[in-house]
């Protein structure tokens, strides 16, 4: 009968829609899994930036934790050089060793260029200075001139 046929085809349709949705979900997950694979040279630097690096350095390269450096708007040559140094591995300070060596081990030159391009083109989010504002001038003096009697070099060198 017309009405029951209609009901059946409606049911069939919603079942196949569910199947399509499930397939899309599975494909989506597999895609996300692939796009997080640091060992796959086909994944672009921009994708890795969003899928992997963002966990620590923030989606826009503005880190939410002081443990992770901001990458936003650092220059492309600087970022590329640091990534190459972690990969070599030449940059061996403890945090670099602990976090970045493994992450950069399989990056290709092309991925490094893509990652550096991505983060260098992000906008840095200005943040208010923390602590006692009256100490800013002495901090500035140390940044620019160091502390001579203690052998502390100027930060900006």
Is the N-terminal amide bond of 10 cis, ω within 30° of 0?
A: no
CA distance 140 to 136: 6
Q: Count of CB atoms within 10 A of residue 48's CB?
A: 23
CA distance 84 to 113: 10
CA 34 to chain centre: 16
CA distance 155 to 142: 7
Q: Stretches 13-21, 23-31, 93-101, 125-133: which one binds ligand HEC (CB under 6 A)?
A: 93-101
Output 115 or 122, the one with its CB closest to ligand HEC: 115
43 is a contact residue toward ligand HEC (CB under 6 A): no
Q: Stretches 2-10, 23-31, 89-97, 144-152: which one binds ligand HEC (CB under 6 A)?
A: 89-97
Output 23 or 64, the one with its CB closest to ligand HEC: 64
Q: Stretches 9-17, 92-100, 130-138, 139-147: which one binds ligand HEC (CB under 6 A)?
A: 92-100
Q: Which residues bind ligand HEC (CB under 6 A)?
A: 48, 52-53, 55-57, 67-69, 71, 79, 82-83, 93, 95-96, 99-100, 103, 115
């Amino acid at each position: 009968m017309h009405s029951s046929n209609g009901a059946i085809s409606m049911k069939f349709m919603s079942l196949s829609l569910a199947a399509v949705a499930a397939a899309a979900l599975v494909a989506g997950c597999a895609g996300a899994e692939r796009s997080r694979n640091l060992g796959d040279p086909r994944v672009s630097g921009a994708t890795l930036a969003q899928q992997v690096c963002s966990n620590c350095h923030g989606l826009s390269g503005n880190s939410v934790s002081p443990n992770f450096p901001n990458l936003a708007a650092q220059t492309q040559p600087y970022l590329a050089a640091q990534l190459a140094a972690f990969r070599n591995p030449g940059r061996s300070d403890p945090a670099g060793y602990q976090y970045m060596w493994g992450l950069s081990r399989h990056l290709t030159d092309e991925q490094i260029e893509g990652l550096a391009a991505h983060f260098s083109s992000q906008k840095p989010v200005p943040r208010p200075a923390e602590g006692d504002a009256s100490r800013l001038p002495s901090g500035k003096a140390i940044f620019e001139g160091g502390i001579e009697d203690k052998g502390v070099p100027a930060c900006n060198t």
